Amino acid sequence: MSTLRGRGRIGWLSIIAAFLLGLATPPAAADPALDIVVDGESRTFSREALLARPDARDIEIPADIAYGRPMRFRAVPLAALLAGRPMPTGSVIETVALDGFAAHLPLDLVTNTDPAKAIAWLAIEPADAPWPKLPGKQATAGPFYVVWTGAQVKSVSSEYWAYQVAKLVSELPPAARWPQLVVDAALPAAHAARAGQTLFIAQCLPCHMINGAGSSDVGPDLNRPMNPTAYMTREGLHALIRDPKSVRTWPTQIMPGFAADQMSDRDIDAVISYLAHIAARNTEQKTAQ
Ligand code: HEC
């Protein structure tokens, strides 16, 4: 089916195949399901099967990130859903959302079960008790939403609260998967762009590609064709990351701001240093060609 979704030429064969598939496919299933793909092997969990699991719990979330208020969910520990499916150390779990958002959750974080740290849960929206709509959106966080509890819940990146999730896929860490987003090896260890790369992967890559690296196109690529550090001042870019609405506003604006408890001024400066580093390197590569 990828030819139908991609930009490729739609040949007769794919039209016929699509027609036959259309005849063979039953009407959209009422019960949403979550696919978990590890090493290319997919397992599907229906909503009802997830809700019926013995390890499903009612959990309280005092400060829910997507809803911005206390919430209560029926949820299953993510570690339990991944149990028995070995993955290479350093892997990440990519959360594939219905709207194209794609966070990369470090495996050691999602598989932790020690409440002294942070624990990941898959919250399941019940068919008979739908969740409220997300603030400013027409949809809820369902059918599946990754939420966090545990003593260190505040240290979890806001973008790791992935909502409207349809699929979880084990992947190589982004820096190994997309070398074009990695800072130069020659950069000093303490250079801000190094910290900026880590922050960019956690906070920005879920929506933005950079240099063609990444798997989401919710927002624009932040280096192609031009890097924002080439047309915005450092102050303007800082203000935009902190609160996009302080720079410009329009009704269909999507990008969330990052409050000081999610990204400090220093963190934002590090991300800007990272963007500037990638921009500079790209110019060098262009002139070298
Ligand atoms: C939830 C998705 C999301 C996240 C997370 C996100 N952005 Fe965005 N960003 C967008 C979207 C979408 C736009 C386009 C404007 C809009 O609709 O808000 C945008 C626009 C921008 C722009 C303006 C580009 C232009 O000139 O039009 C910059 C710069 C930017 N983002 C940087 C960042 C950085 C840096 C981060 C991480 C700290 C980040 N964004 C995180 C979705 C996101």
List Cα–Cα distances, 35 to 57, 76, 83, 218, in angstroms: 21, 15, 15, 21
Domain-ending residue, one of 137, 154, 172: 172
238 C-alpha to center of ligand 1: Å? 12
User: Ligand 1 pocket check: which of 95, 99, 159, 207 to mutate, most ligand atoms within 8 Å of Cβ?
Assistant: 207
Q: The domain spanning residue 199 has which CATH number?
A: 2.60.40.420
Contact at 8 Å (CB) between 91 and 173? yes
CB 244 near ligand 1, within 6 Å: yes
Neighbouring CB atoms inside 10 A of 136's CB total 9
pLDDT tens digits in sequence order for the chain, 289 residues long = 233 333 334 455 554 555 555 555 544 556 899 999 999 999 999 999 999 999 999 999 999 999 999 999 999 999 999 999 999 888 999 999 999 999 999 999 999 999 999 999 999 999 999 999 999 899 999 999 999 999 999 999 999 999 999 999 999 999 999 999 999 999 999 999 999 999 999 999 999 999 999 999 999 999 999 999 999 999 999 999 999 999 999 999 999 999 999 999 999 999 999 999 999 876 555 544 4
Q: Are 86 and 196 within one domain?
A: no
256 C-alpha to center of ligand 1: Å? 8
Domain-ending residue, one of 138, 172, 206: 172
Q: Are 205 and 280 within one domain?
A: yes
User: Ligand 1 pocket check: which of 255, 258, 267, 277 to mutate, most ligand atoms within 8 Å of Cβ?
Assistant: 255
Q: The domain spanning residue 82 has which CATH number?
A: 3.90.420.10
188 C-alpha to center of ligand 1: Å? 28
Structure tokens at 26: 């039953």
Q: Are 45 and 162 within one domain?
A: yes
Q: Are 39 and 165 within one domain?
A: yes
Contact at 8 Å (CB) between 184 and 256? no
Q: Are 144 and 222 within one domain?
A: no
Neighbouring CB atoms inside 10 A of 93's CB total 26
Domain-ending residue, one of 149, 172, 195: 172
Q: What is residue 289's predicted lDDT score, i.e. its pLDDT?
A: 44
Query: Among the atoms of ligand 1, which is closest to the Cα of residue 206?
Result: 5
Residue nearest to ligand 1 atom 41, measured at CA: 204
pTM of the model: 0.88
Q: Are 247 and 233 within one domain?
A: yes
Q: Which residue reads 């890559």 in tokens?
A: 205
From CA 217, how far away is CA 227, in angstroms rounded? 16
Q: Into how many domains does the chain fold?
A: 3
Residue nearest to ligand 1 atom 36, measured at CA: 204
Q: Are 189 and 142 within one domain?
A: no
271 C-alpha to center of ligand 1: Å? 12
Task: Write the CB contacts of 180 (distance below 8 Å, at least 6 apart in sequence).
Answer: 210, 211, 212, 213
Domain limits for position 205: 175-288
CB 207 near ligand 1, within 6 Å: yes
